[in-house]
Each structure stands twice: as C-alpha cells, then as structure tokens.
Structure 1
Amino acid sequence: MALLFAAIGLSSAAHAASPTVTIDSGALSGAEKDGVMSYLGIPYVAPPIGDLRWRAPQPVKAWRGVRQATEFGPVCRQTADWIKLPQSEDCVTLNVWAPARKAARPYPVLIWIHGGAFANGHGGEWGPDGGKSLVQKGVILVSINYRLGVFGFFAHPELSAEAPDHASGNQGFRDQVAALQWVRRNIAAFGGDSGRVTIAGSSAGGSSVAALTVSPLAKGLFQRGIAESGVVGPLPTKATAETAGTALGQALATPHLSDLRKLGAEDLLKQSWRSAPNLDGVVFTEQPQQSFAAGRQNKTPMLLGWNADEGLDLAPAAFGAKIVAAADYERQLQKLFGPQIPPLILAQYPGKTDAQATESTQRLVTDFIGLRHFGWATMQQKAGGPPAYLYYYVHSPAEPSADQPCYYGCKAGHTSEIRFAYGQLWREARRWNADDLALQEQMLGYWTNFVKTGDPNGPGLPKWPMFDGKPDTAQRLGSPTEIRERGAFPDFRQSLDLAAQ
C-alpha cells in the first residue's frame, strides 16, 4: 500500500507528522522549516494534456488520501536551455509558503508570476526556501506555473469555434486567473486573507500584472499589483493571432486542430513561435488605454517601475547583436522608426562608432521601457482612484566572484531588483556590502508594506510619494551616492514621445 501511495504522489501514515491542510480538492502534506510551512507542486487545474491541450483551464480532479506537497511540479514545456529541471505539459501547479504561527488576523498574500517572455521560466525559481523572507515579514507567498509559448498563447480558428466563449489563445493568462480563483477559494486554509491579495511579477510577470489589471476575468480577484520591468502595450487582434496559429499548422502539415493535438510537444517546440496576448474578446475585451479612459480597469493600487540598465540585457535581443556596428546602426533604427529616423532620436542616441552605437542602443531600450512604465503610471494617475507608486532602480550590487561572473542582470540590469525586493540575497554567495544589505531591507519593507496596506510607506523608510505625473515623484532606489549620480532620467513627456508611436 505504501508503494501505491508513493507511485501516485500521495502520502501514507508515515507522513502524518508533516503539516497538513485540507483544500477543496483534498488534503495536502507539506514541510516546515524555521517557522515556514511550504506546500509545493499543488495542481490548481486539470492537466492540460490530450484533448485539453489549448483549452481553457478545467477543474482539477479531487484526490483521496493525503497528497504529498514537498516537491515542485514539473516545469511547463519550453525551449530555455538554462532550465535543466523535468518538463511536462502536465505542469499547471502552484506553491505556497506560509507562517507556521497562526495570527489573530489572516495574513496578506502575494502571488508571484514569473517572467521569461511568456515562453520560459517557472514558479520554483527561488528554490524550496524561496518564501522565507516574505513569510518572516508576515506575508504568504504563492508562486505559480502557467502554460508558456505555443502551449500558452496559441490561437486557431477551430479552437475559437469549439470554445463556448469563442475565444482562443491567452491560455497562460487563463491559467493565471484560475490561480487567483484557487487562492480565493483556498488560501484561508493556510492562514491567508483572500481579501488582501497582491499580484506581482518582473519582466513578462510584470506585463502579466498589468494585463490582469485590464482583464474582466480577473475583476475582484486581487487588491493590489506590482509590475516590475514589464507592462503591456497595444494587443493584436484575435484574427491576427488565429492567422499565426493557422500558419503553424500549415508549416507542420497538420492544418486541423485535432491533428495538432496529436503532435508531440517536441514537434511544436521546434517551430518558431512568438508568445503574445491577443484581444480575444473574453480575457481582453479592449485595449488597455480604452479600459483606463472608460474607467473599466480593475481599480487597484499599483507599484511599478524599471531599472537603470535594462538595455544591458535586452538591447542585444532587440537589435540582434551584443555589439552594434556603427555602419549598421541607422538600418537597425529604421526597423523601429521607419525610413525617416526622427532627428531627435539620432541626436539623443548617436552611433558614430561601434562603442557609441552599442551604448546608444542600450540607453534607447532602457529609456523606452521607462517610457512605458511612466506612461502606465500616468494613465492610472489620470484615471483617478487608487494611486500609483513609480520607482526607478539605480543600484549596482556587489559583483559575484571571478569564477562565477555576472552574465545577466548585472549592475541595475533586467531583473536585478528581484533579489532586493523579495529578500533573496541569501541565495547568492556574494560579498554583499553595506549598501546591498541596506537596500534589501528598504525594498523588502516597501514591498511588504504595499502588500499589507496598498501603500509602500512605513516607519523607518524614506518617504515614497504617490506618483502625480511628474518625474520628481518617481522613487529612486539605490544608495545615496547612486541616487545622486544616476537618479536623473529623461523627461518622457517630451524626449521620447516619438518612440511610443
């Protein structure tokens, strides 16, 4: 009998000493360490495999007995070569870290949505102890897997025809909404408050937060949002998304949906695919700007911002090379701005030499990301209602050792802020200095205060003003010296309006 339980992932009486909770689909046995309870690999929808590939999430089947929840579930199928963990289409699971000590008032909840361009990543990226810093601050952490790439953002005319709501694509976002619904139904079992839920993410995770802010399906499922280095722009139409799906089927000589569902995951992953949300009429019914203009967005406080060196990591992908040749610079700019490059762009981002062209592309990408976040915060500020808190992260942390060089997120690069905002310095064996440790305490304080109250401010922290549409009300995050030397950024209301067109 014990072997049977082990084979299906359920525990026997041997695990009775582990912390156990009961949720709507059955009982879970987790683990406890240093006052933190963890429950990993919890299925929150039915496995999207076989005939359920590309369908909207279906209810998870309840289990009998006590299910072990001490290991992460498989990573969703993807092409990232840096992820060595087991992968599967049966991957739609979540993880919970909660205080072992019960409180008189239920704990606020933070739901982490991982990044990775909607094509890569997973909810276990912080490791089995990843929630400890947040839990020590009185916050429950939930991290999620959601369908990615061609499995999470595939639209097709036959898929739209078979769906009761006649929508297709956006499966990854539907998974995220299903996770929010799971939290509403079940988080009380872990000591959490379903009425104090914050969704947070960086990069594509930040874009997910912004997108859910304008999704009718997510209405009322969260009370605050944190979008780091990612918002969402104009959405392509459902017809455009369906055309891409039809083209994929033709390329694989499987034009019909039933044939596509029979293909192995490897066959689909070999094809070039751009993961993107679409205006399907259900998950997204209008462009974000229309939602805010009409006051139909989900009205929640937002904390959002970007990093001073985003372009170090993102410009090579945007321009197709790590080093941009001066001779090719203007041709590359024409891809973004058309045959007539605005003189303002050439003046602010010159490319007379290879070094200058490379540095300009990095600044251009960084400033464009900043423009998008400045614009989103302005959109929320003009709409009235709950406030926006905008940040500009300028900190360059201690470098790793020489035998483990920094290769991504260096300086104030893309995703560099995560380790500070969520108290993750302990995960890296760097010689963290006093500025690093002080900034971690400050940012972790801001973030957890926001999760608890919708306002990042609190005792012992520098005042963070509500964003009022002016650059001066964006909070600079870094050491005093870094803020003084790097805290200025372009006046986005004038200098980069052309880039937004």
Structure 2
Amino acid sequence: MLDEMSRSVERLQGSARARASLWKAFYFALSFGFVASSVPALASPTWVDAPDGAFQGKIDTTGTMREFLGMRYAQPVIGNLRWKAPQPVLPSVATQDATQFGNHCPQTATIAGNASLTEDCLFLNVFTPNGSERDSDGGGTHPVMVWIHGGSLVFSESNEFNPIKLVQRGVVVAIINYRLGALGFLAHSALTGESSDRTSGNYGIEDQQAALKWVRRNIRAFGGNPEKVTLFGESAGGASTLINMASPKARGLFHRAIVESGGYMASQPTLAQAEATGSKFANAVGCNQANPAGVLACLRNQTVSTILANQALLYVGFGPVPNVDGKILTQSFWAALASGQFNRMPLMNGSNHDEGNIFVALDFDLSAGPVTSSTYAAAIGGTISNPAAAPLVATHYQVPAQFPSFDLGVGAVGTDAVFACPARFADELASPFVPTFAYEFNDEKAPQSFLPPVAFSYGATHAAELQYLFQFPNPSGFGLNLPQVPLDVNQQKLSDRMVGYWTEFATSGNPNGHGQPVWPRFHRDHEAMLSLAEPSPTSETNFAKVHQCDFWDTLTGRTLPPNEDHDRRADNH
C-alpha cells in the first residue's frame, strides 16, 4: 500500500512539476518581454526548482552561502500519523518560502535545545555555496554532507548549526530534524499490530531515512551530487549514523560516514524488549485498555506535554534507543560491523579525550555537589552499564594516584567506558571491511559554551569539537545564553585543519590531501589514530593504553571475531 502511495505521489509530482514549470517559463517570458525568443531567462540564485517543488531561499550575511530553510521532507506527523512511518510530502505548484527555519521536534528546554510542543517538525535545511556549481573533482556538482544532530535522541534541533565553514570548502550541507524521545522511539505491541511491517519504535530513524531520500531526489537542484553523500553526526547523531550503516533500508542513500562520539549505544534491544518497555510508558499515561484499538486511541489522544513528562521511562542510559525490529535493523550495529553485513563505505570515527567531564559537571557539581571519597563508587555505578562492578572500577581508577580529584576520576570512567573504548572497538570491527580513519579530539583548552565553570577543567569534553566545525552565532536553550568564547589563533588553525579533513573525506572518501598532516588509516594490528590537537594534528598509537581499553574489553566481555585476510576486503568495499 505504501509503495503504491509513493508511486502515486511521484506521478503527481511529475505532473504538478510539469505544470509549474510551464507557468514559470511563461511568467519569465512575459516579464522579460520575449515570448518568442529562444534565450532562456535567468532565475534568481536563491530560487530553486527541484523535483519536490520550487523553493525561495536567501543569501547569508557573508554573501558566500545560499540558505534554503524549513523545507518539509515528510507530511506532518500529527493526529493519526503520530507513531507511524513518515509519509511522502504532497506536491505543490506554488513556490515555497524557504527563508525561515521550520519547527523543531517536541522536547523540554535543555542546555542544547529550546522547548517545543509542536509535532509538525519534519523539516530540513540546505546550505550551498553561492558561486560556481562545479566541485573540486570536476564532476559538475558538490559533495553533499547530511548532518544528524545529537542530544541523546531526546533534544536539540537543526537550526543550532551554521555550516558556513564546511560550505566555504565547496560542499552542500543538509541539516535535518527528526522525531525524538517517546514520539520517535516508542515501541508497543498495539503499534506493532497496526503496522503493515509488524514493527514499531524506530520512527526517528525512519525520519532520517526519509530525509536522505528527499536529499537523493532533490539535492542536484541545489548543486549537490546525490551519488556523493556523506552522513555525519555527533553523539546520538553519530549513533544514528552507525544505525543507518547497519540498516538495510538505508542502502544506497549515502556513501561515506563520519561518526563523532557515537559509539556509546553499544547494543540495541529486540522489538519484544522494546515493546515491554513501551508498555510501562503506556501504563504510566493511563493507556492500559484491554484491546489494542483502545490503547492506540488513548496514546494518540495524549498531549505532547504528558508524553514528554513520562518519556524517561523509555531511556536506556542517556535516552531511548532504536530496536532490532527486523526491518530498520536486522541486528545490532556492532553485530553488523562484526559480520560485515552492513552498508560498506569509508568510515571516519572518533571520540573526545575527556568526554565524561561535562556529564560529571551536570550530574554532580552543578546539582548535587562534587563527587567525594564517600560517593565515588556510587557515582561510578551510575556511570557504567554494570553498577555491580563499581567497586572494582574504583580500585582501578585511583584517586589521587591517577586522578587529582574524584570528579575527574568519574569523568575518566565515563570517557573510557562509554565513549573511547566502544569507539575503538567499532574501528576494530569495521576496519577489515572498509577504509577506516580513527581520531581523538584532544584540545584540552577547548572553550566550554554550554555550562558555567566548575572546580575542574572540562578539557576536550563531549561536544567540544562541534565549534571547530560549525559556527554558533545565535546559541539558544537555557544553558546556551552564556558568553561565547571565540577560538584563539591556534584553535582556529585546528578548526581549519578539521574542516579540511571532513570536507576532503566527503569528496573522496579519504581525509588526506591538500598538504594536511597525514591521517593514517586504522588497522587492527597497527591502531594508529589522528590526534586533533592545536595547532596541528599528529598521529597517536597509545589510545587503547591511555583509555584502559583492555580493562574495559575484559570487564564487558567484548571480543573480536577472527581477523581473516586482514584489511584486504577493506580495499574493495
């Protein structure tokens, strides 16, 4: 049924676009007074005629970038479409205003996002160079980078990211919204039962894939190459990138992947497990009717405020997680990487040296107070997936022998257990199959613009690298009204290097080139990474030792599959 709907929409789009093109041609001919002339009229650089419609954008304040904002990539997920797969946008012959951001998806106010109660939020923004339409490899169009924002699959929005640094290097950037929290990741047997695919709970991932399909259909009209798409994201956006690499439904929708601090979502529950968790949420909001139809009606009648107030019942760690539903995911992404059964493409993957420090500040120093000797083991227990192992971990991360404070000890545990060693394990799994480039962001003096100062240095903490890739000229959210500290001269040099690596990878699938310091490829038997430190990156080979990854691999039972014909397959991905 959905396939037939999609074909119907495509037919409507074709006829609607044809009529629209005729009217536009007639309008321009009348306007310039040469109906009979064969000379084509020149459209404005901020007006684009794409397969899904015509869009009127604007030039940014620097004059170097065209912005097309708030473009709808799926129908509003309201009413009966709540907790359903995103539906195709109906075509329109009218030019759509693309000069303002669209709504962002429902969430409470956080340090990195504004509150919203609006479910009509499936919009994306496209940013493209204001100049030549030829890219650096002479293919006639620019490489495309599609950004998935982080926020634990609970908060943040597309309009927090200004990609001008990337666009000025000759790429087209698309930044998307997608459903978050319970609205994006609630699984329930009643929802599964009404689905033609007998699945539920992966709506946010389906939104991301719908946005990628929109990009594939339309991006050429914006100067982008649909055959050269890089999916990239940070934190939950990085985890989403890995999920899409493992998803059969995303095959062919992108061709390179960049994962920033996204390895934390180690495994995904089964659909049955997710449904059981979803039942607890449904019961909490009073939707425990005896029949599935009653449950569905009750759930869809809940206010967004009620849903947001109860969605923490779905959290696994930082937030909700996708599930292995047999459609979007047929296995967890670690299992997919281990078996080679994933969408094979060049991979850039990394983490930050002090990921955990920002969470220590949030959970302790800025709320309950600093971690002390008496609360150290409990704080570790709240950080790792196996709280029973906290006493063992506390003896392994000694204060003050290894760390000057209990805060920094907990921060190191969070860094190593949740981000650094899982990222390195993903590199080990993927590298025999695809070219893999691993990094660690290491600027210990990176500005902290999300939280006020605390007793310890944030260092190269979670999300600290974002300001080196994006500008944040208008930060928002209740934690984002702090004075924004600009990058100093050496940090700006590091930013330039990073933007160069990211955009070169989007162009060629290899970050090296243009006189940059060499970024070594990662191999299991020689685990070289790039240390992104100011003013110039260097290679490092002691990452596993610094972050005690052997300890964490043993504690969690992580083991690598046999490394047969090591890395030869990676050259033929």
Whether TM exceeds 0.5 here: the answer is yes
Counterpart position of 1:497: 553
2:457 and 2:124 map into 1 onto residues whose CA distance is 26
- Identity among equivalent pairs (%): 33
Counterpart position of 1:469: 524
SS state at 2:211 partner: helix
Q: Does 1:259 align with 2:298?
A: yes
Counterpart of 1:95, as a letter, is N
Counterpart position of 2:158: 123
Counterpart of 1:21, as a letter, is V
SS state at 2:510 partner: coil
1:79 and 1:409 map into 2 onto residues whose CA distance is 28
1:142 and 1:352 map into 2 onto residues whose CA distance is 46
State the TM-score, normalizing by the size of structure 1.
Answer: 0.88
Rg larger for: 2
Counterpart position of 1:294: 339
Q: Does 1:377 align with 2:406?
A: no
Cα distance change of structure 1 residues 165 and 119 upon mapping to structure 2, 3 Å threshold: same
Cα distance change of structure 1 residues 267 and 288 upon mapping to structure 2, 3 Å threshold: same
1:73 and 1:58 map into 2 onto residues whose CA distance is 18
Question: Is contact 1:198–1:226 with CA below 8 Å preserved after alignment?
Answer: yes
The offset of 1:416, in angstroms, is: 0.8
Q: Work out which of the residue numbers 104, 120, 126 in structure 2 matches 1:90.
A: 120
Structure 2 residues without counterparts, runs of 5 or longer: 1-26, 29-42, 289-294, 476-482, 558-573
The offset of 1:248, in angstroms, is: 1.6
Alignment of 1:221-240 (within 5 A): 221-231=253-263, 232-240=265-273
1:94 and 1:293 map into 2 onto residues whose CA distance is 33
SS state at 1:88 partner: coil
Question: Is contact 1:418–1:424 with CA below 8 Å preserved after alignment?
Answer: no
Q: Does 1:36 align with 2:81?
A: no
Counterpart position of 1:7: none
Structure 1 residues without counterparts, runs of 5 or longer: 1-11
Once the two structures are superposed, residues 178-233 of structure 1 have per-residue CA deviations (whole angstroms, 9 ceiling, x without a partner) of: 11111111111111100100001111111111111101111111110010011231
Q: Does 1:307 align with 2:336?
A: no
Counterpart position of 2:469: 421
1:454 and 1:205 map into 2 onto residues whose CA distance is 20
Cα distance change of structure 1 residues 406 and 420 upon mapping to structure 2, 3 Å threshold: farther
The offset of 1:295, in angstroms, is: 2.1
The offset of 1:268, in angstroms, is: 1.1
Q: Does 1:243 align with 2:293?
A: no
Q: Which moved more, 1:159-168 or 1:56-65?
A: 56-65
Cα distance change of structure 1 residues 48 and 425 upon mapping to structure 2, 3 Å threshold: closer
SS state at 1:21 partner: strand
Question: Is contact 2:201–2:322 with CA below 8 Å preserved after alignment?
Answer: yes
The offset of 1:240, in angstroms, is: 1.4
Counterpart position of 2:76: 47
Counterpart position of 1:350: 398
SS state at 1:289 partner: helix
1:49 and 1:309 map into 2 onto residues whose CA distance is 40
Counterpart of 2:426, as a letter, is W
Q: Does 1:25 align with 2:81?
A: no
Counterpart of 1:158, as a letter, is A
The offset of 1:62, in angstroms, is: 1.7
SS state at 2:225 partner: strand
Cα distance change of structure 1 residues 367 and 86 upon mapping to structure 2, 3 Å threshold: closer
SS state at 1:468 partner: coil
Once the two structures are superposed, residues 106-162 of structure 1 have per-residue CA deviations (whole angstroms, 9 ceiling, x without a partner) of: 100000000000000001112xxx132212100000000000001000111111011
Cα distance change of structure 1 residues 331 and 436 upon mapping to structure 2, 3 Å threshold: closer
Q: Which moved more, 1:16-25 or 1:278-287?
A: 16-25
Q: Does 1:109 align with 2:144?
A: yes
Q: Work out which of the residue numbers 105, 108, 116 in structure 2 matches 1:79.
A: 108
SS state at 1:45 partner: coil
Q: Which moved more, 1:252-261 or 1:150-159?
A: 252-261
Cα distance change of structure 1 residues 18 and 100 upon mapping to structure 2, 3 Å threshold: closer
State the TM-score, normalizing by the size of structure 2.
Answer: 0.77
Cα distance change of structure 1 residues 111 and 31 upon mapping to structure 2, 3 Å threshold: same
Q: Work out which of the residue numbers 374, 377, 399 in structure 2 matches 1:327.
A: 374
Question: Is contact 2:106–2:115 with CA below 8 Å preserved after alignment?
Answer: no
Once the two structures are superposed, residues 67-100 of structure 1 have per-residue CA deviations (whole angstroms, 9 ceiling, x without a partner) of: 1000000110012345346541000000000123
1:288 and 1:294 map into 2 onto residues whose CA distance is 10
1:483 and 1:420 map into 2 onto residues whose CA distance is 17
Counterpart of 1:269, as a letter, is L
Cα distance change of structure 1 residues 53 and 399 upon mapping to structure 2, 3 Å threshold: closer
Counterpart position of 2:479: none
Question: Is contact 1:76–1:89 with CA below 8 Å preserved after alignment?
Answer: yes
Counterpart position of 2:18: none
Counterpart position of 1:442: 497
Question: Is contact 1:421–1:443 with CA below 8 Å preserved after alignment?
Answer: yes
Question: Is contact 2:353–2:415 with CA below 8 Å preserved after alignment?
Answer: yes
The offset of 1:483, in angstroms, is: 6.8
Q: Which moved more, 1:227-236 or 1:463-472?
A: 463-472
2:472 and 2:378 map into 1 onto residues whose CA distance is 41
Cα distance change of structure 1 residues 208 and 27 upon mapping to structure 2, 3 Å threshold: same
2:461 and 2:78 map into 1 onto residues whose CA distance is 37
Question: Is contact 1:311–1:362 with CA below 8 Å preserved after alignment?
Answer: yes
Question: Is contact 2:108–2:115 with CA below 8 Å preserved after alignment?
Answer: no
Once the two structures are superposed, residues 449-481 of structure 1 have per-residue CA deviations (whole angstroms, 9 ceiling, x without a partner) of: 001111010122100000012575111111269
Question: Is contact 1:206–1:226 with CA below 8 Å preserved after alignment?
Answer: yes
Once the two structures are superposed, residues 254-303 of structure 1 have per-residue CA deviations (whole angstroms, 9 ceiling, x without a partner) of: 22011110111111111142221111111111122332333211101111
Once the two structures are superposed, residues 409-445 of structure 1 have per-residue CA deviations (whole angstroms, 9 ceiling, x without a partner) of: 9431111111213466999853532211110111111
1:484 and 1:213 map into 2 onto residues whose CA distance is 27
Q: Would you identify which runs of 4 or more consecutive aligned residues in structure 1 move more than 6 Å?
A: 317-320, 352-355, 423-428, 480-487
Once the two structures are superposed, residues 353-408 of structure 1 have per-residue CA deviations (whole angstroms, 9 ceiling, x without a partner) of: 996322211111111211010000000013x2x2110001110346479xx95689
Q: Work out which of the residue numbers 438, 456, 462 in structure 2 matches 1:390.
A: 438
Cα distance change of structure 1 residues 22 and 388 upon mapping to structure 2, 3 Å threshold: same
2:369 and 2:490 map into 1 onto residues whose CA distance is 30
Q: Which moved more, 1:214-223 or 1:285-294?
A: 285-294
Cα distance change of structure 1 residues 462 and 65 upon mapping to structure 2, 3 Å threshold: same
Cα distance change of structure 1 residues 477 and 186 upon mapping to structure 2, 3 Å threshold: same
1:409 and 1:95 map into 2 onto residues whose CA distance is 35
Cα distance change of structure 1 residues 264 and 426 upon mapping to structure 2, 3 Å threshold: closer
Counterpart position of 2:513: 458
Question: Is contact 2:501–2:511 with CA below 8 Å preserved after alignment?
Answer: yes
